[in-house]
Structure formats: C-alpha cells, structure tokens
Structure 1
C-alpha cells in the first residue's frame, strides 16, 4: 500500500518510518511534518493509506481530514496521545488509531486491518464518513465538557435567504452561500468549506443542492460540489477527469462522469 506518514515530531516520524519499513505490504511514498504539506501530498500522490498525527500546530489532523475529498480519500490511521473519552469515540465509529508511544505490534495490526478494509465494499461516503463521525463525536464531548450548549431550534433565525445556518460550540454561525468555496459529502455529514474554515453540518447533499444556485454551484464528483467562481485553473489528468485549482489553493478532482458539466461552463 502506498503510504504517507504525518507527524510534527521528528522522533515520532523516525520511529514510525522505521517500524513501517519492516512491513512488507507498506511502501512509504512521502513524509510530512505539518497538515498543509499532508493535504498537498494526498492530493498529488493519491496514497492508499495515511498515518496522521492529530495534535499538530496550525492545521491539525482533524482539519486535514476535513480538507480532503470523500471520493478520493485514502484510509486514515490516527496517531494520538488523546485521553480515553476520545479513544471511545474512535471505537464507536470504527476509526483506527495508534496511541503514542508507538508499539510495533499494534502498528502491524493496524496495517493488516487497512489491507482488509481496502478489499471490502466501501460504504456511502467512502472512508471519510466514519472519520467525520468520530470528529463530530469528539467535538460534541469537548463542548459538553466545556459547558457549551447547542442553541434550541426555535432560537435559530428564520427566513434568512442564501445563507446556511450552522450550530457550532453552542452558537449559530451564519454562512452566506456566496462565501462557500466547495462542499464535500460524507454519509450523513456535509463538510462546508468557506473562507478558509470548514464547517460540519448534518444534512444530505440533495438538501443542500436544492438551496444553492445551480448556475454557481456544480457537482464535480459523486460527493463534491464546487463554487465555479472560485476556480482559477483546470488541469487535465492522463486517465480521464481533471483537477480544478481553487483560489484558496485547494485542488479538487473532477470525475469522468462529471467532466461534461465542467467543459460546458468554460465554453
């Protein structure tokens, strides 16, 4: 399996490389020390598997997951020093993880599970769905621990047009549709990327598409919608499809099934 390892601690990265290099089924194709490089490496190298440290400065491991397209998402094994309540959330959503300090036998078991998972039929939303579920569960528990309470439904302003209302840490954020760069669906969750932030919303892609302007937002993959006004360039891929490069620096893959929609927009 083509594998990327990500950790901001050089010693942890060295240890992980050493252990994985001894596993026959793993080929390390890149090493990253921060989240931004990890996102770029996944986009360009298309790994099968990524070992991803959660607690990194700047863009952490959870934000790396949110930034990746569901349809092109590799398998992820989190590396963490989190406490038990977070570990319980990973177990609840069947998300694999490694506790620091790393144990060679535990890493080998995680690799074997990844091999088995790769050959199993993907669920709706692919590998991203359980990851987002675990992230939401951990966020909910952190909010509860800190005393944040979600706003009741009746307190949400009604009748706001062309805006998305998102509950986050006890408050409601108002995100204008025009500020949305792209949207990624993962099962029952939507990752809404707007002005450098990613908001997780419980919704279906169909429900959101009914609200968005179909002249501005188009579907480019089974689970991905993009604001066409954010596209600055397009790169064709050798095996069909293409990459859309956005003004915020992200690159999104367009599947062959949706390339005609892209072509018509640029005629």
Structure 2
C-alpha cells in the first residue's frame, strides 16, 4: 500500500494530484503535513511548487468547473477525517463525469464532499458575524477557534471590509494567523504566549459593550439553553459580551 504525503496545504495537494496523474498512479492513502505517517506502508512524498499548483488549479477549473473545484476546496478545509482522500476521489470522478458530477448526490463520493463543504461554508458565515476585533496599540486582533481550517476564507472577507486597517486574525487552535498590512495578507505560524495587552480605549469599549449587553437582557426571559441552541457554546469563548455573564460560562 502506497501512502502519498504532502505539506498539508491546498497547493501541495494540487501538486500531489499532478504527480499522481503524471505517474498514472492513484494513492491508496494521503497524509498532509504534521500527521503521523504509517511506517508499515510505502510513502510517496510530493513537493509543493506554487507555479505548478496555479496551473493545476486553472486546469481543474476548466475541466471540472469552478463549482466542483470550490466544493473540493471547502471540503479540504473541513475537519472531516480522511478529507484529502475524499476530495481526491471527488476530483477523479469529476474528471471523468465532467462538471455535472457536482449534482450526483446519490454517489457517496459526491455526497461526502458536498456535506463537508457545506459545513465549512456554514461555519465561515457564522464567524463572519461572530469575529470580534480588539485594539492592541494600532493593530486590530481577533482570535477564534474554528473546527474547519477556514482562516483563508475569513481573511479574504476582512481584507475587503477592513482594507484601511492593520489586523491579525488568529486561529488559536492551529497556532497560525492571517496578518494584514499595506493591502496584502499572508498566513503564518502565530502564538501570543499569553494574554495580550488591551489598549485603554479597548478596555472602555469592552466595558460599555458588556454593560449594554447586560442592560438590554430581560432577566425573566433569560434562557441559556435556547442561547446554546441558536449559538453553540463553543463559539462563546472569544466573545467579549459573554465574559462574566450570569448563566453563560
């Protein structure tokens, strides 16, 4: 059994697809960077070439359709176990069946990727409304802890919305961040090493926000269970308005 390995990035995955096609070999397993490799099996390492990845992306979009490519990309960013192999199988099917493969939901290969992609899309949409930026000496900082690896999707949105600011969006669970400055953003490894110092203005804003949140809540209508139903508790961790709230933590 041959297990193919790559650096864990989508560009690296595209290069793996190209190498698989070039060698006319289909991997029986795929492992991204940072995952334990099964030493009992033969491994086929692949290198990442950014130019090659761009060419593969263009070719896949033309042959499979942008919809298929996007669905595969979103599923790749999900937390689904075995997502790399699932996306590989989906692309392989679409390469033969054409753009219409996206509608073959009765096929397990399509349905698996479709559902994983939808989960990522929902999580992205939810965090676009829940992300909270704090002012840290001229830089806006927003921590979050998503299930899927949605940092590039969220960063692209805020690059358009907050183009005049310097900001950092920190995926605390994966120890990496999107850093935006001078009109461009990039993703790199990132760790705060502990609580970050808030500016005086930020502390005042947080205090006002908490008081507003508390004052608008009708005590007799508090229903933590219903709150958790509409916004699961896993999303509360980095919300200033939830800090020290009665019945919340």
Give me the TM-score of the superposition, normalised by structure 1.
Answer: 0.25
More strand by share: 1
The structure with the larger Rg is 2
Give me the TM-score of the superposition, normalised by structure 2.
Answer: 0.26
More helix by share: 2
